Amino acid sequence: MSSFTLFAPLQLIAWTQLNCTGDFGVTQFTDSVLARNISNAYISRSLQLNRSLTQQEQLDISVTSNFNSWYSNKDQLYYNSASCSNFWQTYYAVNGTTACYNTPPFTCHRLWNNPGLPMILSK
Ligand SMILES: *[C@@H]1O[C@H](CO)[C@@H](O)[C@H](O)[C@H]1NC(C)=O
Ligand SMILES: *[C@@H]1O[C@H](CO)[C@@H](O)[C@H](O)[C@H]1NC(C)=O
Ligand SMILES: *[C@@H]1O[C@H](CO)[C@@H](O)[C@H](O)[C@H]1NC(C)=O
């Protein structure tokens, strides 16, 4: 599988409150946004995927270092986005399921194929 090809379509919903409640932003991952840092309009506190991560897929979440200015930087599809300054967490096939995950407040997410990971099939 190419590092730049999505295994299968994947939707991420990022919620403003814990336990996947509150307002939400939806990201449809496609090949064109694979491996790119993406933000929606919210500071998110939980997330849910519509399928488990599989093979070498890796989802990273990170947060801005400035909650006052990140908002002005809404198009995050370029290098070193201001919304993605501090790395928080990674999810892999072993722990990226369709469960709702509570997270530290995040403003940026990225899905990519990490060639360094073992080819684990999702549970
Ligand atoms: C997940 O969402 C994407 C985008 O809407 C969709 O194409 C895909 O079929 C969904 N997958 C599952 C397993 O529901
Ligand atoms: C995405 O954000 C991370 C920080 O979480 C950064 O290390 C990485 O360089 C960024 N990648 C791109 C393509 O902007
Ligand atoms: C998911 O599992 C990986 C590998 O064990 C681990 O490094 C990572 O911290 C876990 N992610 C979360 C959010 O617990």
Q: Quick one: pLDDT at residue 73?
A: 53
Query: Residue 42: inside a domain, yes or no?
Result: yes
The token duo for 68 is 């006052």
Distance 53 CA to ligand 1 centre (A): 12
Residue 60 resides in a domain: yes
The CA distances from residue 23 to 37, 69, 74, 85, 118, in Å, are 21, 20, 17, 23, 35
Q: Is residue 5 part of a domain?
A: no
What's the structural domain count of the chain? 1
The set of protein residues with a Cβ atom below 6 angstroms from ligand 1 is 9-11, 28, 50-51
DSSP-based three-state secondary structure for 84? helix
Q: What is the pLDDT along the chain (123 residues), one digit of tens a residue?
A: 566 688 899 999 999 999 999 999 999 988 877 888 888 889 999 999 999 999 999 999 999 888 877 765 555 555 456 788 899 999 999 999 999 999 999 999 999 999 888 877 665
48 assigned to some structural domain: yes
The answer to whether residue 55 sits within a structural domain is: yes
Domain that includes residue 82, residue range? 10-113
Predicted TM-score (pTM) of this structure: 0.89
pLDDT computed for residue 74 by the predictor: 58
**What is the biggest distance separating any 2 CA atoms in the chain, rounded to whole angstroms?**
40
Domain assignment present for 21: yes
- Residue 72 alpha carbon to ligand 3 centre in Å: 31
Domain assignment present for residue 1? The answer is no
Residue 103 lies in a domain: yes
Q: In this predicted structure, what is the pLDDT of residue 76?
A: 55
Neighbours of 81 (CB within 10 A): 22
In sign, the C-alpha dihedral spanning 58, 99, 33, 64 is negative
Compute the distance between CA of residue 92 and CA of residue 90 in angstroms, rounded to an integer: 7
Residue 68 alpha carbon to ligand 1 centre in Å: 34
| Per-residue pLDDT at 78 | 53
Residue pair 122/52 in contact (Cβ under 8 Å)? The answer is: yes
Instruction: Report the CATH number that the domain containing residue 17 is assigned in CATH.
Output: 2.60.20
Tokens of residue 100, six digits: 């709702």
- Ligand 2 proximal residues by C-beta, below 6 Å: 36-37, 62, 79-81, 84, 87, 110
Residue nearest atom 3 of ligand 2, based on CA coordinates: 84
